[in-house]
Amino acid sequence: MELEAKLHKIKKPIMVLGTSSAAGKSLTVTAICRILKNLGEEPIPFKGQNMSNNAWVDWEGGEMAYSQALQAFACGINPSAEMNPILLKPQGNSVSEVIHLGKSIGTTTAQNYYKDWFIPGWEVIKKSLNSIYERNPNCRLIIEGAGSPVEMNLIHRDLTNLRVAKYLNANCILVTDIERGGVFAQIIGTLELMKPEEKKLIKGIIVNRFRGDLSLFKEGKKWIESKTKIPVIGIIPWLNDTFPPEDSLDLLEKKSRYTNPEIKVGIIKLPSISNFSDFDPLENEESIFIEWVSEAQNLNKFDFIILPGSKQTIKDQIFLDECGLSQNIKEYSKKKGNIIGICGGLQMLGTSLEDPFFKEGSKIYSEQIIRGIGLLPIKTNFFENKLTRQISSESLWPCQSKINGFEIHNGHTELDNTQNTLKIKPIFKDFNLGWYKENQEGGTIAGTYIHGIFENDIWRDQYINLIRKSKNLPISNIKSISYKLKRESIINNLANEFDKHLNITSLLN
């Protein structure tokens, strides 16, 4: 049965719209998902279209935005690409990879996107909604919008805000960020730009990131309700959220929370960085301080360096060469430096990168083969199609332990037999998932294709102990708290704070 014919039977969806990007929509949806789960409901997150290089791979190998995966964890369910049927992964120069229902189906320029992809995009959104309700007839969708719902130059081509709200007749919440200033203008302006039938869908307003005494906003709340005739259902205080930003530009503003760390980590801030949620487990280690590195500098102050994933590996390798960071990393490796690369970072640590199909940014430079940093004797060839899958393996280094994670990458990496390969060893029983090499001077160079490697608690503990040993710090025999349990605790704390200040029950009927 088509969804249109049974919309009257489904539980009323809740949709979270924002007065702007970064108003707090993602965290609000995450909190509501956990609140409703605790109330015994069956919440399922949904975002019709997301633009992000911070991705997750579901158990069928489908790509989706990490933020929707996190919201699924808040619901206590497995993430599925149907929860984010359209994912756009920016490649630079206004070009994005288009992913429908977890599978890459092409690339597009911003100029041509709505001309070429609007109709198929709307069809795949409806298909996903229908499939979700077919399998979960008693669920309640908690839907996240994107950016502002009233971008007037785009609203006629909107795929993921008011079009979805009207299609599902959802109860909508408008979230605004008071930290940015101009909160009254944000609310009134957004509502004024809506059509009457759209404005009727807005059933509540949330004022987010309020600092100080909440009682000081009583008059502001009265004014908003008087002017809009819409209840303010929540004034959410400023929270020290530890969730990853969707936009990699926010990473440079992210600060470590711990004041007395024993280990300093430098993460290279690549222009096309992807999957930076890989480092959330390190953010939650009290002994670790993280600093993002975006320009050439002496790296010796760091106890280990991470090269993260990249959406455009060759483009980012050329950036490292041109800005001087490649040379900095080489010099660091000669001074007992510890380096680990993940996915694209692994590829860049090798000797060469070959891109015959121009998948990884080489077309911009008309170079199909370029040199890598050259610290591992491996080489990478990029293919037309990429590999996306969940991983279950076993590590051999720095300890034997079970490993879970996922792969998202173009290209195949193998040993470069033109180099000395005697010292390079596999990290895992599945040899093609990563390698490491111990330097004569001390320190290790390692790289892996596994995203989420630091979520494996035993492996993470042993790798950190390897670093501690290189610093002559005492080895820690205390098992760290499971990262997945920490993530659950963070989600619970988020939901509890929202629950104190949010009246969500009025929207459930």
Report residue 91 as tokens.
Answer: 């490649």
Confidence at residue 255, expressed as pLDDT on a 0 to 100 scale:
56
**Residue 26 one-letter amino acid:** S
Helix, strand or coil, per DSSP, at residue 429:
coil
- How far apart (Å, rounded) are the C-alpha atoms in residues 472 and 466? 10
Report residue 65 CA to chain centroid gap. 6
* Phi, psi angle pair for 431, to nearest 5°: -60, -30
Structurally, at CATH architecture level, domain 248-484 sits in: 3-Layer(aba) Sandwich (3.40)
Order the strands of the 263-268 sheet from edge to edge: 288-293, 263-268, 304-307, 339-342, 444-448, 434-438, 425-426
Confidence at residue 154, expressed as pLDDT on a 0 to 100 scale:
86
Q: 100, 172, 343, 409: which is the annotated catalytic residue?
A: 343
Please tell me the CATH code under which domain 3-238 is placed. Answer: 3.40.50.300
On the question of a common fold for 3-238 and 248-484, the answer reads: yes
Confidence at residue 366, expressed as pLDDT on a 0 to 100 scale:
60
What residues does each domain of the chain span? 3-238, 248-484
Confidence at residue 352, expressed as pLDDT on a 0 to 100 scale:
96
- How far apart (Å, rounded) are the C-alpha atoms in residues 146 and 175? 12
| C-alpha pair distances (Å), 223 with each of 178, 181, 232, 346 | 15, 16, 10, 55
Q: What angle do CA 82, 85, 87 make, to 5 degrees?
A: 135
Confidence at residue 92, expressed as pLDDT on a 0 to 100 scale:
83
Helix, strand or coil, per DSSP, at residue 162:
helix
Confidence at residue 480, expressed as pLDDT on a 0 to 100 scale:
72
Report residue 359 CA to chain centroid gap. 21
Task: Supply the pTM of this predicted model.
Answer: 0.94
List of the chain residues with pLDDT < 50: 248-249, 252
Residue range 439-448, pLDDT digits in tens: 877 899 999 9
Confidence at residue 506, expressed as pLDDT on a 0 to 100 scale:
86
Q: What is the 3-state secondary structure (H, E, C) of 174-236?
A: EEEEHHHCCHHHHHHHHHHCCCHHHHCCEEEEEEEEECCCHHHHHHHHHHHHHHHCCCEEEEE
- How far apart (Å, rounded) are the C-alpha atoms in residues 231 and 205? 6
Q: Catalytic: 343?
A: yes
